[in-house]
A and B are shown apart, each in its own frame.
Chain A
Amino acid sequence: MPQYKAPLRDIKFLMHELLQAPQVLAEVPFYQQNDTADADLLNQVLEEAARFVETELVPLNRVGDEEGCTRHDDGSVSTPTGFKEAYKKYREAGWTALDADPAYGGQGMPHLVSNVLVEMMTSANVAWSMYPGLSHGAYSALHAVGSEDLKTLYLPKLVSGEWTGTMCLTEPHAGTDLGMIRTKAVNNGDGTYAITGTKIFISAGEHDLAENIVHLVLARLEGSPQGTKGISLFLVPKFVPNPDGSLGERNTVVCGSIEHKMGIHGNATAVLNFDGAKGYLVGEVNKGMNHMFIMMNAARLGTGLQGLGLGEVAYQNALAYAKDRLQMRHEPRVNPAEPADPILVHPDVRRMLLTGKAYTEAGRALAMWLALSIDIEHHHPDAAKRQEAADLVALLTPVAKAFMTDNGFTTAVLSQQVLGGHGYIREWGLEQFVRDARIGQIYEGTNGIQALDLLGRKVLMDGGKKLQKLAGTLQEFVEENEGDEDLAPYLDQLGKAAGQLGSLTMVIGQKAMAGPEGADEVNAAAVDYLRYFGHVVYGYLWARMAKIAHEKIQAGQDRDGFYLGKVQTARFYFAKLFPETKMLAATIKAGNEPLAVDDRAVFGMERALVGA
């Protein structure tokens, strides 16, 4: 059975040395007042989180995969053996309240800490982690835009975990293009709305972990315009609660079926039928898309964490196997008493493991950097700092979602490869990580959509302002460390790539404005552009991590070899992974032209659609 130990050493390194989080959070009165910025407290919470996750969630991962969820004839859904008991323990230990607002029973811990908890949970049991994960998303949206009445009634229940939440966006004919949704809302005239329609792919949409489920549903109010400008957000409870919070009538929202999926079997992916179900408006009429994006941004970073978490756990298990498995003889022999040497010694196995390590550790640095930035965005007293953090989060959220899930899947596949044939056998667990990691690239906006969001909305739409700000931060780091011999090879590569990212952006921007085909040029470049962008961000983070590590080594403070490991992984990253940017530069420059093929000749269409 696969094993998992939370990578606390690395997490603490990032929290205290790279990000200096306690010092940063000490400037934020919200955390000071809640007494939640203290370094010892942060460590203790992380250690307890790790213990819970390792003891309670890891053993249920395979069970969840094998059993899956079961829908019964009455529309109820039962989760795999042990899921309910683990959720009860999780809730009782207070984890659902971790970073929630103390006004509603939360603990007011930084988002940074919950980010780490989510990473650990996804490593341990991604399917299970999605039940509290979706609740957290529903909590965030309701907290941000809900009326006082809705917040008073629903938030304490979501914070305590007594009730869970969902986000209902997709419909059978409307996935990426939510402007096409048909679910309708009719004003009942008494402050409630009747919601009718069908939603699909609703994660944690029906289950037996909690007594009530709070669905946040996108629907079109009667008389609202077509497209995304006519969509509103509604809260539809499974049981309509009485004013005192006790459960009232069963609402007319029913689980019609659950999907049979490639992975995340332990999470119920429901088809939900709303038949005049009682709902309440959340936020303003026709602002549903904006409101939902509050949830979507957090969910996108959360999805990125799934890539990270699954990459980490797959890497850990591949590494353990590579140390243990004896095959082939290395010259010189490592272990002459044995018939063969551990496969860890073979360069190609090391390549696969180092790739996983390099992507995972940089991904963790990115995720924690963004999580700390979200804390600043929400609570820093200085408006300029809040704006700066908000811009960084907006810019890097699609990068975190897509680059981390792509690399997470790559890491899971490479880790599976390390096990050879055993990687394909269920009981080793690696094939489950591969299957579970695949969805991260698809949902919460496919990685193709993330790339469009990055290039179109986040970079080009504001004329590259957010990008320039980030490039300035990178440039500053490069200049500050000029002449540092240890860092020179990294800084040279990083500086050049950051410059090229700027010029590639200009090239795409010019093509985008050149004519009616401009949008296709953006679309054709976006995925490669995001990957290039991701490498520049990871390169920056690796250089910063290497700088700290070099300093520690020079100060004689590397007794366990942790910092040497950082330095050597950084070197591997810049030598073996970062050069992908050179290829990407070429494919970005190649533009849309190679894609504008003749649809009759290439795709067998009866007429040309776009190509000529």
Chain B
Amino acid sequence: MKILTLVRQVPDAEARVKISGGQVDLEGATLVMDGMDEYGVEEALRLREGGAAVEEIVALATGPKRVEDALRTALAMGVDRAIHVETDQALDPIALSRVVAQVAQAEGVSLILVGGQEADWDSQALGAATAERLGWPQLTWTNELALEGDTLTGRHDVDDGNESFRVPLPAVVTTQQGLNEPRYPTLPNIMKAKKKELRKDTLDAYGAAPTVRVVGSDIQTRARLNKMIDGKDPQAAAAELLDLLRNEAKVIA
């Protein structure tokens, strides 16, 4: 069987982003592979290392030329080859799912791993849309996964606990934090990755066009409230602070 892992490139969590012309301007920002997608790549590698009959692991990314860097990271982690659908157009998740589904069919994959949440859009729709297009089952927010023959078993969190599941392949799985601890690419693997195939496709080949357009972006600003608590009576001050944290800031229960 083959596994397809989706890779997106996003600003590093600590990167300073700017807005220019109503768009997020990534010039000069540190860009990394989305952490959620890293879980997906890592899990694909672990399934193979755990003895599952995985013939090939393919990483897929869409986006401008710079996205190659994220794909190289995936190759250096141990993915066998990569496909880069190069475009400067930003795809919404539904449009992107059209690309993912077509690649999955063309490559004959039976498992797709997708980040559950996306540091760039936070839409959580990509996995579902891809599964819908393919008519495959979807398993979301997975934090444990095992593969035996053609049967996938695992666990995912729900509001009050967690559920275990079993599903025959093919399937779409979305990841979440806690699924695994992604490895660092080793230096020898970084060097080997250079020689691995990184195929370039054009977006035209997939007939995918975004219908959602981003028309403006703003950076969230935090304003200080400068609220002072009178500290003359320590008991009362502590009680007031507790009240503010609990009912106004809502940071404690």
Question: How many residues belonging to A are interface residues under a CB distance threshold of 8 Å?
Answer: 31
19 contacting pairs across A/B (C-beta < 8 A): A35-B194, A36-B191, A40-B72, A44-B73, A44-B76, A44-B190, A45-B190, A48-B184, A48-B185, A48-B187, A52-B184, A93-B187, A95-B187, A107-B187, A107-B188, A338-B224, A559-B27, A559-B28, A560-B28
Q: Complex: how many Å from CA A107 to CA B32? A: 24
A179 within 8 A of B: no
Which chain B residue has the least Cβ–Cβ distance from A50? Answer: B30
**Contact for B226 among A9, A107, A338, CB less than 8 A:** A338
Contact check, A35 vs B30: say whether CB atoms are below 8 A apart.
no
Nearest-CB distance from B194 to chain A (Å)? 6
Contact check, A35 vs B187: say whether CB atoms are below 8 A apart.
no
Contact with B along A28-45 (1 / 0, CB 8 A): 000000011010110111
Contacts of B226 in A (CB 8 A): 338-339
Nearest-CB distance from A188 to chain B (Å)? 40
Contact with B along A328-347 (1 / 0, CB 8 A): 00000000011100000000
Q: Complex: how many Å from CA A337 to CA B225? A: 10
Contact check, A9 vs B28: say whether CB atoms are below 8 A apart.
yes
Contacts of B184 in A (CB 8 A): 48, 51-52, 89, 93
Which chain B residue has the least Cβ–Cβ distance from A560? Answer: B28
Which chain A residue has the least Cβ–Cβ distance from B224? Answer: A338
Nearest-CB distance from B161 to chain A (Å)? 31
Nearest-CB distance from A293 to chain B (Å)? 29
Q: Complex: how many Å from CA A107 to CA B184? A: 17
Contact check, B187 vs A38: say whether CB atoms are below 8 A apart.
no
Contact check, B28 vs A562: say whether CB atoms are below 8 A apart.
yes
B186 within 8 A of A: yes
A8 within 8 A of B: yes
Which chain A residue has the least Cβ–Cβ distance from B183? Answer: A93
Contact with B along A185-208 (1 / 0, CB 8 A): 000000000000000000000000
Question: How many residues belonging to B are interface residues under a CB distance threshold of 8 Å?
Answer: 24
Given known contacts A52-B184, A93-B187, A337 and B223 CB-to-CB distance under 8 angstroms: yes
Q: Could you list 7 further interchain pairs (A-B, Cβ under 8 angstroms) beyond the known A48-B190, A93-B184? A: A41-B191, A43-B69, A44-B76, A93-B186, A109-B187, A559-B25, A561-B28
Contact with A along B55-94 (1 / 0, CB 8 A): 0000000000000010011001000000000000000000
Given known contacts A48-B76, A338-B224, A92 and B194 CB-to-CB distance under 8 angstroms: no
Q: Complex: how many Å from CA A556 to CA B252? A: 50
Q: Complex: how many Å from CA A564 to CA B192? A: 38
Nearest-CB distance from B86 to chain A (Å)? 16
Nearest-CB distance from B41 to chain A (Å)? 14
Q: Complex: how many Å from CA A92 to CA B189? A: 11
Which chain B residue has the least Cβ–Cβ distance from A557? Answer: B27
Contacts of A52 in B (CB 8 A): 184
Contacts of A109 in B (CB 8 A): 187
Contacts of A43 in B (CB 8 A): 69
Interface residue ranges of B1-46 to A (CB < 8 Å): 14, 18, 20, 25, 27-28, 30, 32
Contacts of A562 in B (CB 8 A): 28
Q: Complex: how many Å from CA A431 to CA B44? A: 45
The 3 closest A-B pairs by CB, nearest first: A560-B28, A94-B187, A559-B27
Nearest-CB distance from A455 to chain B (Å)? 40
A98 within 8 A of B: yes
Contacts of A97 in B (CB 8 A): 187
Q: Complex: how many Å from CA A459 to CA B162? A: 73
Contacts of A45 in B (CB 8 A): 187, 190
Contacts of B27 in A (CB 8 A): 559-560
A229 within 8 A of B: no
Given known contacts A35-B191, A93-B186, A44 and B28 CB-to-CB distance under 8 angstroms: no
Contact check, A38 vs B194: say whether CB atoms are below 8 A apart.
yes
Contacts of B185 in A (CB 8 A): 48, 93
Nearest-CB distance from B154 to chain A (Å)? 27
Contact with A along B200-230 (1 / 0, CB 8 A): 0000000000000000000000011010000
Nearest-CB distance from A86 to chain B (Å)? 11
Contact with B along A65-104 (1 / 0, CB 8 A): 0000000000000000000000001001111011000000
The listed residue with most B CB atoms (<10 A of its CB), out of A43, A93, A95, is A93
Contact check, A44 vs B72: say whether CB atoms are below 8 A apart.
yes
Contacts of B18 in A (CB 8 A): 560
Contacts of B194 in A (CB 8 A): 35, 38, 40-41
Contacts of B28 in A (CB 8 A): 9, 559-562
Contacts of A338 in B (CB 8 A): 224, 226
Nearest-CB distance from B36 to chain A (Å)? 16
Q: Complex: how many Å from CA A93 to CA B185? A: 7
Contacts of A93 in B (CB 8 A): 184-187
Nearest-CB distance from B12 to chain A (Å)? 8
A457 within 8 A of B: no
Which chain B residue has the least Cβ–Cβ distance from A95? Answer: B187
A5 within 8 A of B: yes
Nearest-CB distance from B210 to chain A (Å)? 24
Nearest-CB distance from A96 to chain B (Å)? 9
Contacts of B72 in A (CB 8 A): 40, 44
Contacts of A559 in B (CB 8 A): 20, 25, 27-28
Q: Complex: how many Å from CA A339 to CA B18? A: 26
Given known contacts A41-B191, A44-B69, A94 and B186 CB-to-CB distance under 8 angstroms: yes
Nearest-CB distance from B13 to chain A (Å)? 11
Contacts of A94 in B (CB 8 A): 186-188
Interface residue ranges of A3-34 to B (CB < 8 Å): 5, 8-9
Interface residue ranges of A337-360 to B (CB < 8 Å): 337-339
Interface residue ranges of B75-126 to A (CB < 8 Å): 76
Which chain B residue has the least Cβ–Cβ distance from A43? Answer: B69
Which chain A residue has the least Cβ–Cβ distance from B72? Answer: A44
Q: Complex: how many Å from CA A174 to CA B238? A: 61
Which chain A residue has the least Cβ–Cβ distance from B25? Answer: A559
Nearest-CB distance from A191 to chain B (Å)? 35
Which chain A residue has the least Cβ–Cβ distance from B226? Answer: A339
Nearest-CB distance from A530 to chain B (Å)? 36
Contacts of B224 in A (CB 8 A): 337-338
Q: Complex: how many Å from CA A569 to CA B224? A: 32
Interface residue ranges of A134-155 to B (CB < 8 Å): none
The listed residue with most A CB atoms (<10 A of its CB), out of B18, B27, B193, B223, is B27
Interface residue ranges of A412-436 to B (CB < 8 Å): none
Q: Complex: how many Å from CA A48 to CA B76? A: 10
Q: Complex: how many Å from CA A41 to CA B192? A: 10
Q: Complex: how many Å from CA A94 to CA B25? A: 35
